[in-house]
Structure 1
Amino acid sequence: MDRIYCVEDDESIRELVLYALHSSGFETRGFEDGESFFEALDQQLPSLVLLDIMLPGEDGLSILRRLRENGRTARIPVIMVTAKTSEYDKVTGLDTGADDYIAKPFGVMELVSRIRAVLRRTRTDTPAGVLTLGPITVDPARRTVTVSGQPVTLTYKEFELLSFLMRNEGLVLTRERLMETVWGFDFEGESRTVDMHIKSLRQKLGSCSEMIQTVRGVGYKIVQLPRQEEGRS
């Protein structure tokens, strides 16, 4: 049985969510703040976390960063649950490593549907293995990237984007497919978000930036350049 942890400081909302999820066949636990949540993680890991942004003490985005920076919890799916609805808040949560985003007020049926969709998607992820393409090496287990042996620091979503491109070397991936796979769902402004992350990723890859190629009107692909072209900016 899937175990869902809900981090929500509003007791009425937390109890409603826990009741609805329990009725839908999930094992559930609720927490009013990050401190109690992390104490529970030391004992048992959940299948998925519902995480509010506005919390007393440590906020949800900070909690999410801690989850993604810890190898033990980095792969736990997280759905952000918040009253904030601006595109900035959505992008911030997703870039930090959220797998989905749902805004209050929300319907219980929609919440359950999103949870099941995220669980299905994360269970069918390609098994982690070291990916190498030319000078680029990606280690999904350690979440490290090197270019010509030198470490490169990427954000959570930049890492996922590069990994997905490398798993599909030579294939043209549409913006829509990248958005669906890396960010998990569609939201307004998705084309700009993908393009912005590709631009940032290219900058960080430096001499290997040209390996990520734009297919005009379609999307992007990653290819290994002829040896004489490697190292050109």
Structure 2
Amino acid sequence: MRKIYLVEDDQAIREVLEVFLSLEDFEVHSFISVAEFKERDVEVIHDLYLFDVNLPDGSGIDLCHQIKNDSKNQDVPVMIMSAHTNLQHLKDFCEPDEMISKPFDIDNLLQRIQGVIDSKQ
């Protein structure tokens, strides 16, 4: 079973993603904030990090930058999602493996998640 770390502060989006991805045979560990995410067991490596850009106590872009600069996670893809940011502009601050704008089609999101995970294995 593939594992995803999800950081999303919007409860409705987080719950939909948890249920949908679980039904698609992913194990989802979700967090509502940067602080909560930083309390995770850093020794456990997942198959994908899925970050919202705007979080109540920080930015998914900063998390992306941290993950990409962590030698333990260098091969783990990072996917960024945002409703308010020009996603191409994000590449100046972080180089995510995939980006998606909100609102998104859930089937398209799944396809992109599977594609980015498969490309790293």
* RMSD (Å), alpha carbons: 1.6
**CA pair 105-114 structure 1, distance change in 2 beyond 3 A:** same
How many residue pairs end up in the alignment? 121
2:81 match = 81
Q: Distance in 2 between matches of 1:44 and 1:63?
A: 16
2:114 match = 116
For the 8 Å contact 1:54–1:60, the answer to whether it is kept is yes
* 1:117-196 → structure 2 map (5 Å cutoff): 117-123=115-121
Q: Distance in 2 between matches of 1:112 and 1:70?
A: 26
**CA pair 66-48 structure 1, distance change in 2 beyond 3 A:** same
Compare the two structures and name the one with the higher strand fraction.
2
Answer 1 or 2: higher relative contact order, Cα 8 Å, separation at least 6.
2
Compare the two structures and name the one with the higher helix fraction.
1
**CA pair 118-58 structure 1, distance change in 2 beyond 3 A:** same
1:5 match = 5
> Cα offset for 1:99?
0.3
**CA pair 76-38 structure 1, distance change in 2 beyond 3 A:** farther
Q: What SS does structure 1 have at the residue aligned with 2:50?
A: strand
Indicate yes or no: 2:101 matched with 1:107. Answer: no
For the 8 Å contact 1:61–1:93, the answer to whether it is kept is no
2:48 match = 48
Q: Which has the larger radius of gyration?
A: 1
2:61 match = 61
1:198 match = none
**CA pair 34-113 structure 1, distance change in 2 beyond 3 A:** same
> Cα offset for 1:109?
0.6
> Cα offset for 1:95?
5.7
Query: Counterpart of 2:61 in structure 1: which amino acid?
Result: L
1:33 match = 33
Q: Distance in 1 between matches of 2:85 and 2:54?
A: 13
Structure 1 unmatched ranges of 5 or more: 124-233
Q: Distance in 1 between matches of 2:96 and 2:82?
A: 12
- Give the alignment's TM-score, normalised by structure 1: 0.49
Structure 2 unmatched ranges of 5 or more: none
> Cα offset for 1:72?
1.4
Map Cα deviations across residues 146-196 of structure 1 (whole Å, 9 max, x no partner): xxxxxxxxxxxxxxxxxxxxxxxxxxxxxxxxxxxxxxxxxxxxxxxxxxx
For the 8 Å contact 2:9–2:32, the answer to whether it is kept is yes
